[in-house]
Structure 1
C-alpha cells in the first residue's frame, strides 16, 4: 500500500469522531470529575439555585470581608451539600436523590452551623472537645471521605484512612515510624476545631481561589472563548505539513490556560482536531498521544495552571503572581518540546500540507473576537496593577462578563432578556446562569479532595511525619542531592499513580519536599519540583485519564497512546532536575519571585534556559530517532546521553552534551557525502 493510499485510508476512518468514542471520552472526564446525576424538573431547578447561590457567595467574599472561620466551613458545607445531591452513592442510584443523600447533605450544613455559632469558645476547646464536638467532628471526617469516594473513587479515602490509622496507632509502630499516638478526641480537635486540618490551607485555597478561577473559566466557556481559541489556532497554523500538530499545541495552550484541566482540554480539542491529525498522516495512537500531551500542558500553563499551583502560593506564603512567574520558562520549554516533536513528526512520517475548512482568517477572527484575549490576560494585568489574586480573578470575571456583550453570539445574557414577557424564563435559560452553575458544580471534586487532603496535612503536622520521612529518604540516598531528587520524583510519581494532581502535590509537599529542603534546595524550587512530577499522574496508568480519553476519541489503544504521550512529554520532564541540582538552575524559575528577579543575573538565566532547550532538543531527536534525518542506533544513544548531560547542571556536563550533539549533527551531515563517495567508486 502506498503512502498516499495509507493516508486516504486514515482520512476515511476519521472523517468523523464516533459517538461511541465521545461517550467513552466523557467517561474518563467523569473519572476525573465524578459521575454526576442529571436531573429534570423541580430537582434540577433546586440544584441550579444552590449552585448559583454558591458561586454568588464566593464572588461576594472575593470583594467583601468574610472571616476565615466563617468562609471555610460555609465553603465545605456548600461542597458537601451539593456533592451528596449531585453524585450518587452507587451507579444503580444514579439520576435520583435518595433519603440518605438528604440526611448526609443536611448533616453537612448542621456541622457548619454548629461550628460558626460556637464562636471563640468552640476553637478554644480544641485540645479538650466535648461530646457534641466529637460527634460533629467525626461526622465531618466521614462525610468528607464519602464525598471524595463519590467524586473521585476509593483511592483517596483509603489513603486518608491510612493516615488516620497512623495517627491512632503510633505507639505500636516500628521505629523510625513510631510516635506517642493520639486519641479520637485529639484528632477531632485538629481536624474540625482548628484551621490546621480539614479547614486548613488546602480548603483556604479552594474557597478563595480555585472556585473563583473555575467560575472565571465557566464564564469564558459559555461566552464562546473556547471555540474562538480553537478556530484561531486552526486559522493561524493551517496549510503546512506541521499545521495540524502545531494547531494542537497552540490550541491546547490557549484552551488550557483558563481551564487548568488536562482531560477536559484533551477531549474538547480532540473532537475537533483528530480528523485533521489523521488527514496529514498521524496514526491513531500518535494522534492521541499528541492530544493528551497538549492537554497535560493545561495544568502547567499560566494564567490558571492546575489547582495545585494555588496551593504552592499558600504553602510558600508568596503571591500567586510569583507562582505564575516561576511557571513561565518551564511552560515555554514544555511547548518548545511539543513543537519540536511535531516538526520531527512531519519530516519523519512525510506528512503533507492540509488546510482547515470552514474557518475564518486570523485577521477576521481577531477583529470579531479580540476581547477573548483581553479576558485571558486581564488576570495577570490586574495582578501587576497591584490587586491580590482573589481580586484579580474577580475583576477578570467581571471583564469577561461585560465584554461578552460586544457581540450577540457571545453575550452571557441575551440582548432581549429584559424586553417583552418571560423575563425570568429568559434569564434562567441564559448562559450566565449556566456559567454560575458550572462554576460551582465543576469544582466539587477538587474541593472534596482539598478537604480530604486537610486530613492528611493535619496528621502529618500532628505527628511530625514529614520530618521523619525526609530523614529516611536522605539516609537511603546517602546524603546525595541527585539520589534524593530521584527518590523524591519516584515517590511523587508513585503517589500520582493512584490520586489526581492536586492530591498528589499536597501529600508529597508535606512528606517529600522537606527532604530536598534539608539538603539546601530553596523551598520554591522544591515545591515546583514536586508540582511538575505530580502532573505526571495525568499520563501515568492506571490514572492516565488524558491519554485514555484521547484514545477513546481516536479509537487507538489506551496504553499505546499513553506511551506515545510519554514520548512527547518526557523531554520536558527533565527540566525540574535542573532547578534543584544546582543554584544556577533556579534561573529557570526566574529566581522564585519578582523581588529576587530584580537582582538576578540575566546572562545566567539565559544560559541555563538555552542549555535546557538544547537538552530538550537532543532528547526529542533521540526519542524520535530523527534529527536532520533518520538517526542510526549509535546517533540515537549519543543524542539521549547528550540530553541528560545538558540537563545536569555544571559546565563539564554541558560541554560533554554540546560536544555529543555537534558530533551527531556532523555525522548526519557527512553521511550523504560518504555515501556518494562509496557509490562513485569503480
Structure 2
C-alpha cells in the first residue's frame, strides 16, 4: 500500500510535478467528500452522477501519469515530456466529458465525434495507466473483452456475440452509465475513498501502531504469540487495504521476521502471513471494498452483506488461529520475549481509537447511514480524539492531517483505475449479450449437476483471479460466474460470496499465488513450499463456501435456532480439521487419529439443512469429535504421568 501521508512526511522541497500531483490527489479526496456529504445539492447545484465520476477520473488519470513511471517498479525522479502530455490530454478529454455531459450523452448512438473522440482517448490512456498501476494481467483481459465487442460475430458456437461499431463502442464505454462511468467507479469514488481516508488518518495519528501494540500485548505472551499477532494485525488492516499483496507488503515486513525469530520455519511464517492478509479481503465490514459493490450488485442493504459474510470470515480466522496455536504447541514455541513487548500503560492510552470503530458500527447499523458518511464520522472521531489525547505522548500536527488528504488521493488512484477498467468489462457484457451467453454455457457444461457446476465455477474463479486486485477479481467474477450459479437456484448472496472466496483463493493457490509469493520473498523462503503451506493454513476457504451454498444458515439466513446450531457445529468441525492438519491436539496425533479428526470434522461442518438427514451427520460429527478430544487429552495426561514417573 502506498504511503498514506506523502505530503506530511516530505522533508525536501517538492518538484513542480510533485506539487501538481499532490494537488490532484487532494482534490480527488475533497471532491469525493463533498459529493458524499451532498454539498453541491445543498448549495443549489444539480449534476448528473456521471459528471461527478468523470470529474474524479479527470483528476485521477493525470495523477497516474505524474506519479507512475512507464516501467513498473522504477522510481519516479522526474516526469518525461510524454507523461506530461498524456496527463494534459487525459485531463482535457475528461474535462470535456464532465462539463459537456448533458449534451454528449444524447449523441452517443449518433456516433458523434463529440462522444467517440474523447472516448477513444480516455480508453487508450486508461489502459496505459492501468498497466502501470497493476501490470498486464487486467489490461489483457479488458483488451480481450473489447476485441470481443468488435468481432464477437466471428466467435463460433453459443458464445457468438453482436459486433459493435468502434465509434459507437468508444462513445458508449466512455460516457454511458454502463461503461467506465458505471457502478464500480461510483463505489470507488463515493465509498472507498471515505474508508481509505479513515485508514490514512488512523495511520497518521498513531492508530495503526496502537492496534499492533495492542495485538502484541494481548497475544504476545501466549505460545506462538508472534504468529497470532500476525493473524490479528493482518486481519484488521487487510479488510481496508483492498489488496492481499499490499497487505502482505505492509504488515509482513514486521510480522514475518517476528514469527521467524519466534522459531517458526520461514515458509510457514510466510504462509500464515499470506493467509491472514488474504482473509482480510473476506472480513467485514469493508472486505477490501467488495462489500460495498456487492450490496450494489444485489440491490440489498450494505448491512445485509456484512451479516452474511461475518460467520464464514470468522470461521476462516478461527481455523487459522487454531492452527497457529497448535503448530506452536507441536514445535514447542513459546510467547514473544518480554523485551519485545510494549509497555502496557502507554498502549492503554490509545484506547480512544476504539471510539472511531464504535461510531462506525453505530452509524452503519443503528442510524442506517450510508457507508461513506459513517466512514467520515469515524475519520472525524480519529482526528478529534488524537488531537486531544495523542498516542505515546505524540499528537499529530495540522500538516500531518492535511497530508493524509493528499495521501488518500495517491492511495486510491489504483482502485479508481481498476474500477474504471471494470466498467469496460461490464459495458462489453451488456452491449454484446456475452453475460447471458456465458451463463448459459456454464449451466450447460454443468449439465444440471450442482457439484460439477460449483467445481467448474471454483476453477474458473481461481484462474481468472490470478494476479488481479480484490476489486477487479470480484467485479469480473460477479459479472461472469455468479449469474450461472444464481440461474441454477443458488441464493444470490451465496453465489456472490462463493465467487469472491474462490477468486481470493487465487492469492494463495499455486502456481500463481501472488500473496504467498510476496510473503515468501520477505521471508526468503521457497515460493512453492510457501504456497502449499498457505493452502493448508487456508483450507477452510476452500470448504466453507461449498457449505453455505448448500445451506445458507452459515450466512445467517434462516431460523435463529438453525443458524445458531450451524455456527456451533461448524466451529467444532473447524477445530477438529485444523487439529488434524496441524497434527497436534493436546499431543502429537497418529495418522489414524488425524484421519478420524478430519472425518468427524467434515461431518460436523456440514450444516443441518444441507441435505435430508444432514442433522444426523452433524450430531455424529460433534459427538465423535468430542470423544476423540477426550481420548487424546487422556493419552496426553498418561504420557505426562509416565514422563514424570521416569524422572
Given the two structures, how large is their TM-score scaled by the length of structure 1? 0.85
Q: How does 1:469-488 map to 2 (within 5 A)?
A: 469-488=438-457
- The residue number in structure 1 matching 2:469 is 500
- Are residue 328 (structure 1) and residue 302 (structure 2) matched? no
Looking at structure 1, the residues matched to 512 and 206 of structure 2 have their Cα atoms a distance apart, in angstroms, of 30
Looking at structure 2, the residues matched to 607 and 39 of structure 1 have their Cα atoms a distance apart, in angstroms, of 62
- The residue number in structure 2 matching 1:661 is 625
- 92-101 or 234-243, larger mean C-alpha shift: 92-101
- The residue number in structure 2 matching 1:443 is 412
Measured after TM superposition, the shift of residue 667 of structure 1 is: 6.2
Of 124, 129, 146, the match for 2:128: 146
- The residue number in structure 1 matching 2:7 is none
Measured after TM superposition, the shift of residue 150 of structure 1 is: 0.6
- Contact kept, 8 Å, 2:126 with 2:421, in 1: the verdict is yes
- Are residue 580 (structure 1) and residue 546 (structure 2) matched? no
Q: CA separation of 1:508/1:275 partners in 2, compared to 1, >3 Å: closer, same or farther?
A: closer
- Are residue 62 (structure 1) and residue 44 (structure 2) matched? no
- Contact kept, 8 Å, 2:244 with 2:278, in 1: the verdict is yes
Of 425, 441, 444, the match for 1:456: 425
Of 141, 163, 175, the match for 1:159: 141
1:590-645 deviations in Å (ceiling 9; x for gaps): 22xxxxxxxx5111111111222222223212322223432233333333344444
- Are residue 369 (structure 1) and residue 327 (structure 2) matched? no
- Contact kept, 8 Å, 1:128 with 1:185, in 2: the verdict is no
1:346-402 deviations in Å (ceiling 9; x for gaps): 221122344342544546522x11121112332221112232112111222222222
- The residue number in structure 1 matching 2:597 is 639
Looking at structure 2, the residues matched to 154 and 236 of structure 1 have their Cα atoms a distance apart, in angstroms, of 42
Looking at structure 2, the residues matched to 669 and 239 of structure 1 have their Cα atoms a distance apart, in angstroms, of 24
Q: In structure 2, the residue corresponding to 1:629 is in which secondary structure?
A: coil
- 355-364 or 45-54, larger mean C-alpha shift: 355-364
- Are residue 73 (structure 1) and residue 31 (structure 2) matched? no
The alignment of Structure 1 onto Structure 2 pairs a total of residues equal to 620
Q: How does 1:612-651 map to 2 (within 5 A)?
A: 612-648=570-606, 649=610, 650-651=614-615
Q: In structure 2, the residue corresponding to 1:95 is in which secondary structure?
A: coil
- The residue number in structure 1 matching 2:69 is 88
- Contact kept, 8 Å, 2:244 with 2:470, in 1: the verdict is no
Looking at structure 2, the residues matched to 101 and 447 of structure 1 have their Cα atoms a distance apart, in angstroms, of 19
- The residue number in structure 2 matching 1:51 is 25
Measured after TM superposition, the shift of residue 107 of structure 1 is: 1.7
Looking at structure 2, the residues matched to 67 and 175 of structure 1 have their Cα atoms a distance apart, in angstroms, of 40
Looking at structure 1, the residues matched to 229 and 162 of structure 2 have their Cα atoms a distance apart, in angstroms, of 57
Measured after TM superposition, the shift of residue 672 of structure 1 is: 7.5
Looking at structure 1, the residues matched to 312 and 18 of structure 2 have their Cα atoms a distance apart, in angstroms, of 43
Of 386, 389, 403, the match for 1:434: 403
Q: CA separation of 1:119/1:41 partners in 2, compared to 1, >3 Å: closer, same or farther?
A: closer
Measured after TM superposition, the shift of residue 315 of structure 1 is: 0.7
1:48-73 deviations in Å (ceiling 9; x for gaps): 12211221221111112453021111
Measured after TM superposition, the shift of residue 306 of structure 1 is: 0.3
- Contact kept, 8 Å, 1:80 with 1:144, in 2: the verdict is yes
Measured after TM superposition, the shift of residue 674 of structure 1 is: 11
Q: CA separation of 1:411/1:110 partners in 2, compared to 1, >3 Å: closer, same or farther?
A: farther
1:327-355 deviations in Å (ceiling 9; x for gaps): 22122212111111012112211223443
1:543-570 deviations in Å (ceiling 9; x for gaps): 5333233223322222222222222111
Looking at structure 2, the residues matched to 450 and 356 of structure 1 have their Cα atoms a distance apart, in angstroms, of 45
- The residue number in structure 2 matching 1:319 is 301
Q: CA separation of 1:194/1:490 partners in 2, compared to 1, >3 Å: closer, same or farther?
A: same
- Contact kept, 8 Å, 1:274 with 1:554, in 2: the verdict is yes
- The residue number in structure 1 matching 2:289 is 307
Q: In structure 2, the residue corresponding to 1:166 is in which secondary structure?
A: helix
- Contact kept, 8 Å, 2:225 with 2:334, in 1: the verdict is no
Measured after TM superposition, the shift of residue 660 of structure 1 is: 5.6
Given the two structures, how large is their TM-score scaled by the length of structure 2? 0.89
Q: In structure 2, the residue corresponding to 1:435 is in which secondary structure?
A: helix
Measured after TM superposition, the shift of residue 242 of structure 1 is: 3.2
Looking at structure 2, the residues matched to 259 and 94 of structure 1 have their Cα atoms a distance apart, in angstroms, of 23
- Contact kept, 8 Å, 1:621 with 1:639, in 2: the verdict is yes
Q: How does 1:335-484 map to 2 (within 5 A)?
A: 335-357=317-339, 359-362=341-344, 364-366=346-348, 368-383=349-364, 384-408=366-390, 413-414=396-397, 430-484=399-453
Unpaired segments ≥5 residues, structure 1 = 1-25, 31-37, 415-426, 592-599, 677-682
Looking at structure 2, the residues matched to 172 and 270 of structure 1 have their Cα atoms a distance apart, in angstroms, of 48
- The residue number in structure 2 matching 1:3 is none
- Are residue 524 (structure 1) and residue 482 (structure 2) matched? no
- 620-629 or 454-463, larger mean C-alpha shift: 620-629
Looking at structure 1, the residues matched to 419 and 473 of structure 2 have their Cα atoms a distance apart, in angstroms, of 11
Q: CA separation of 1:77/1:634 partners in 2, compared to 1, >3 Å: closer, same or farther?
A: same
1:136-172 deviations in Å (ceiling 9; x for gaps): 1111111111111010001111111101111111221
Looking at structure 1, the residues matched to 95 and 68 of structure 2 have their Cα atoms a distance apart, in angstroms, of 23
Q: In structure 1, the residue corresponding to 2:466 is in which secondary structure?
A: helix
- The residue number in structure 2 matching 1:15 is none
- The residue number in structure 1 matching 2:215 is 233
- 543-552 or 521-530, larger mean C-alpha shift: 543-552
Measured after TM superposition, the shift of residue 494 of structure 1 is: 0.8
Looking at structure 1, the residues matched to 240 and 481 of structure 2 have their Cα atoms a distance apart, in angstroms, of 29
- The residue number in structure 2 matching 1:534 is 503
- The residue number in structure 1 matching 2:538 is 569
Q: In structure 2, the residue corresponding to 1:498 is in which secondary structure?
A: coil
- 89-98 or 548-557, larger mean C-alpha shift: 89-98
Unpaired segments ≥5 residues, structure 2 = 4-11, 42-46, 641-647
Measured after TM superposition, the shift of residue 664 of structure 1 is: 4.7
Q: CA separation of 1:671/1:382 partners in 2, compared to 1, >3 Å: closer, same or farther?
A: closer
